[in-house]
């Protein structure tokens, strides 16, 4: 069974203000995407990276990304026709561990179409009108999770879910939403609290501090928190 990682690294990084694509910004002494590559390569037979157009440089494991995030996932998956399982991950989450990837893969073996790393909502969530901020609903956070990556799918299910028009791809909040809309079954997998996404300069500083505490590119013993059977 070919397990292929799809690393999304095509974002511009404008909100980070680094003047270069976010995935290539220095993070604890390395380009940010290198941390995720280390983790994915331990669980995947191959990793395809979606990068900004012009940075693929003829590398068969790099493809030009698309205007939308899910469009970039579709481009990366198209370059890996051998994939039977797809592990989608955002390069902006450099603290991913091999153990978390493995936990998502194990969940997939239980018969689900997809498994998504996520954390339970800890704040009270409100629905407010955009025009004046008036609250119109308060949600029960006991059932709410914040979705992250990695997101692992049966590749054929993900291919069908991604076979939509550009507007639908652009509107998708994540790939799991597309799979759900196509009738697929997706479950959450509890993620560690440090699997953060780097969006701002503050996020980058926090990620660098956490990575600096690790003994190497992958923290020793990280897999002990999660099952490594596949």
Q: How confident is the model at residue 228 (pLDDT cuts 50, 70, 90)?
A: very low
The pLDDT score that the predictor gives to residue 74 is 98
Question: Can you tell me whether residue 43 is helix, strand or coil?
Answer: coil
Residue ranges of domains in the chain:
3-118+146-225
The pLDDT score that the predictor gives to residue 216 is 52
The CA distance from 169 to 64, in Å, is 16
The pLDDT score that the predictor gives to residue 220 is 40
Residues 36-50: what's their mean pLDDT? 97
Question: Can you tell me whether residue 191 is helix, strand or coil?
Answer: coil
Residues 34-60: what's their mean pLDDT? 94
CATH number belonging to domain 3-118+146-225: 3.90.550.10
- Pairing label, strands 145-154, 85-90: antiparallel
Please report, to the nearest 10 degrees, the dihedral formed by the alpha carbons of residues 18, 100, 112, 4 taken in order.
60
Tokens (6 digits) for 118: 């996520």
Residues 160-181: what's their mean pLDDT? 96
Q: pLDDT tens digit string along 201-224?
A: 999 999 999 999 875 544 444 444
The CA distance from 2 to 6, in Å, is 13
- Pairing label, strands 46-51, 62-64: parallel
């Amino acid at each position: 069974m070919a397990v292929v990682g799809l690393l999304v690294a095509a974002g511009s990084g404008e909100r980070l203000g680094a003047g270069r694509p976010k995935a290539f910004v220095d993070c604890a002494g390395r380009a940010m995407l290198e941390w995720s590559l280390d983790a994915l390569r331990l669980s995947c037979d191959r990793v395809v990276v979606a990068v900004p157009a012009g940075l693929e440089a003829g590398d068969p494991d790099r493809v030009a990304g698309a205007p939308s995030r899910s469009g970039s996932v579709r481009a990366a998956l198209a370059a890996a026709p051998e994939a039977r399982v797809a592990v989608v991950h955002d390069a902006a989450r450099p603290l991913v561990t091999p153990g978390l990837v493995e936990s998502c893969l194990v969940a997939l073996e239980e018969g689900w179409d997809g498994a998504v790393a996520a954390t339970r909502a800890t704040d009270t969530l409100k629905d407010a009108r955009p025009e004046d901020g008036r609250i119109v609903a308060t949600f029960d956070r006991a059932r709410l999770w914040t979705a992250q990556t990695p997101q692992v799918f049966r590749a054929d299910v993900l291919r069908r879910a991604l076979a939509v028009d550009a507007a639908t791809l652009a509107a998708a909040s994540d790939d799991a939403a597309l799979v759900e809309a196509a009738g697929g079954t997706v479950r959450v997998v509890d993620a560690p609290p440090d699997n953060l996404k780097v969006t701002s300069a503050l996020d980058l500083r926090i990620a660098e501090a956490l990575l600096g505490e690790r003994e190497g590119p992958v923290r020793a013993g990280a897999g002990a928190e999660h099952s490594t059977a596949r």
